[in-house]
A and B are shown apart, each in its own frame.
Chain A
């Protein structure tokens, strides 16, 4: 079972996150105090840590720094009400792996933690030059996409989106994750531009085939998977 540590002093938020992860089949430990959180983080093996920024005892940034200094390599996601861009950059610079701004939807948190855990499990071994899901295959070197042996021409940006989806195959990818992963921007576009990009990609990847691979996950984002 995947184990997650939640360091969050707001009981309401902590319960909400805990319930969510337990429902998804994770083991969850909770701590409402920075010092205790740091102790747990260094002492036990977790698959991921969700860390609030403002904590009693020891501030979230200090916990992050201390944990990294102590050699804790567990993926850490910072959860914070401080949403400004520079705060995010600071968090990432201090060694966090992702940064999510409160308020957030659990689906977003889940998708991000999931991506972090998976990245931790499959370390950057010899980067594969091909990715395949069902009959869809992409070649990362030649940037060629084929489905059932038929070549699908894609624009560069579409290729990046598909690659991003395939690397996270079977997992929910949220719109902001796509914007971050493919465009490297963190702001929230007012109009849902990502949906239109996805529907274009769908036109090319799914339209002429019997089984759709790109699915919309209601309220969260998208998932590329062989099963509906």
Chain B
């Protein structure tokens, strides 16, 4: 299993490609280094030969001027006869070019009698391959010319030595590359394999598994970190989903059971027309309640899944707050409460106006159920965030219950079983999260203070982008659907 899907064809493997590339680069580098070395070494050897030849030439010229041509010829003959390792070359010719002495048959035309250092390829008697000779020529008095040279054999030796070293170096390099490559790809493959194995375990349902982080802060750790964050989010969503299914199972079953019983009773013989009528009405009410509940659950699920993020547009949070206050003001008054608002300023955020209005109306709706006399709605912004607070003077929520209050289906007051399904605050929390913000519940002494905290759009250029993003998908495309002139 561990290597099951991990067999990568070797030439596709990143490691192999990386090792290949670095080997080629190193080979080139070594080639260049050895080339320079060779060039320099050859230069040094040749310089030595040139110097030796120059001093010998000087000696011979001196000898000539002191002792004359015959002596020079004799000396040259003597020296030519001695076999020497460095293969010295000598030649003395007369003004007509006839050889007088030396081990060279004729004066090579490329050697000029000016004392300069020149190279020429010469053949030994009976040999196929030329040897390279470095030589100087000099014209003595009376048209007599003298040539002194050395075979540059040392150069060949250097060539051989350097070539051999080069081969060894390359062999060592390639051995290291293969070894290192195998080691590296083992390590990489092992860690990739670990990640893939965790993935498979998660896929088959073990949502709690996480990729091990070694703490070295390397690329794999960073990958593991972000994978783990993703897995946590997935687990959170899955758990949320499970909670929903469980709660839906519970909360939808009860009204449906009630409905079924009602209809059953209405069908019984002996039920009067009026009783049937009443049962039908009650049945419709039950169904409406159930549908409403379902709709709200779906709203929360959608907000939580973040699917509506594409619909974000520029929204004035202050205007949304004013709208909601306007919507609820009469009902608050009806219930003998005062609904006050301080939301006159424009608060520009990037958001989903419809969902924000729905969230805020949930908060105000709750307040109208629990407040004694007063409800306040304040919308403001500071440098950190945009905020809307809904404050009532009702019984509030005990500190220990506040966390739980935003969970689905939680009704803190068990006696209030009829009204609402306990989804109000969880929708608000979900909408806040969708916007990258959160819901704060606090004690208003007495009462509840619920604050919707939403992030401000990034300033400057980013701000334009953030708001422009959803412009096309604005949730309010000029809805002049009925002839009624929309809010002026």
Interface residues of chain A, those whose CB is within 8 Å of chain B, are 83-86, 89, 92-93, 97-98, 101, 103, 115, 119, 124, 140, 156-157, 160, 163-164, 167-168, 177, 180-191, 193, 196-197, 199-200
Contacts and interface: CB of A to CB of B under 8 A. Distances in A.
Interface string B442-485: 00000000000000000000000000000001111101011111
Contact of A196 (B299, B330, B476): B330
Interface in B379-432: 420, 424
A196 B482 contact: no
Interface of A is mostly: helix
B292 A85 contact: no
B354 A98 contact: no
B477 A92 contact: yes
A86 B310 contact: yes
Closest 8 CB pairs of A and B: A164-B484, A187-B358, A196-B330, A196-B331, A181-B482, A181-B484, A167-B483, A86-B311
B361 A187 contact: yes
Interface of B: 291-292, 295, 298-299, 302, 307-308, 310-311, 323, 326-328, 330-331, 334, 352, 354-355, 357-358, 361-362, 365, 368, 420, 424, 473-477, 479, 481-488
A160 B487 contact: yes
A180 B485 CA distance: 12
Given A83-B295, A193-B327, A193-B328, A89 B475 contact: yes
Contacts of A101: 295
Given A189-B361, A196-B331, A89 B420 contact: no
A85 B355 contact: yes
A200 B357 contact: no
Contact of B327 (A85, A86, A103, A183): A183
A172 to B, nearest CB: 13
A184 B365 contact: no
A180 B481 contact: yes
B308 A86 contact: yes
Interface of B is mostly: helix
Kindly name the residue among A86, A180, A189, A190 whose own CB sees the greatest number of chain B CB atoms within 10 A.
Answer: A190
Contacts of A199: 330
Given A188-B295, A190-B424, A86 B473 contact: yes
A84 B308 contact: yes
A92 B487 CA distance: 19
Given A160-B487, A186-B354, 18 more contacts: A83-B295, A84-B308, A85-B311, A85-B354, A85-B475, A86-B307, A93-B477, A98-B481, A103-B291, A115-B482, A124-B483, A177-B482, A184-B486, A184-B487, A190-B365, A191-B365, A193-B328, A196-B331
Kindly name the residue among A156, A157, A177 whose own CB sees the greatest number of chain B CB atoms within 10 A.
Answer: A157
21 contacts: A84-B298, A84-B299, A84-B307, A85-B311, A86-B473, A89-B311, A89-B475, A92-B479, A157-B326, A160-B488, A167-B484, A180-B479, A180-B481, A181-B481, A181-B484, A181-B486, A185-B354, A185-B358, A188-B292, A190-B361, A197-B327
A164 B485 CA distance: 8
Contacts of A93: 477
A98 B323 CA distance: 23
A180 to B, nearest CB: 7
